[in-house]
Homo-oligomer: A and B are copies of this chain.
């Protein structure tokens, strides 16, 4: 019924989270009304997405360069490193403007049921960079995989003089960090608990 290219676009759009059949149809038809140069730009952004983004070689964060702006920033302390599963979560914490340490992004969580083991995550690089670190804040989500990964990292990195804490107070159990409101995130950072 729809022209083929619109059916194709509906399938593309349905892959996105929160976009069902009806929304995809509506968006695909709306796209036909955009200007050609807008569509070309949008299309080239999609094509270039994966080649344009890099992962910071120090911390694993999504970035434009070899090293991200946060790792480059000498005003930020190396003494505290917050460990997160995902770049999205770093962006959420950064928006609160209350954390001035460094980050380490695991780019995933341990999940044996899906075959994701510690070696598949950005964990080795963490073990290397924490020689002078005084505190590690583990900020993985409070899911089974998040807890398992937190436990693994705690066991792996424990040594005298290093405090390992876990984001705690304020973050509702089972909630996804990146959707939490800023106040909840601020509380969770302030009231982190020794792990």
Contacts and interface: CB of A to CB of B under 8 A. Distances in A.
A4 B50 contact: no
A47 interface: yes
A30 interface: yes
A126 interface: no
Contacts of A91: 1-2, 25
Contacts of A9: 42, 45-46, 49
A16 B4 contact: no
A159 interface: no
A155 interface: no
State the majority secondary structure of interface residues on A.
helix
Interface in A20-70: 23, 25-27, 29-32, 34, 36, 38-50, 52-54, 62-64, 69
Interface of A: 1-6, 8-9, 12, 15-18, 23, 25-27, 29-32, 34, 36, 38-50, 52-54, 62-64, 69, 87-88, 91, 94, 178
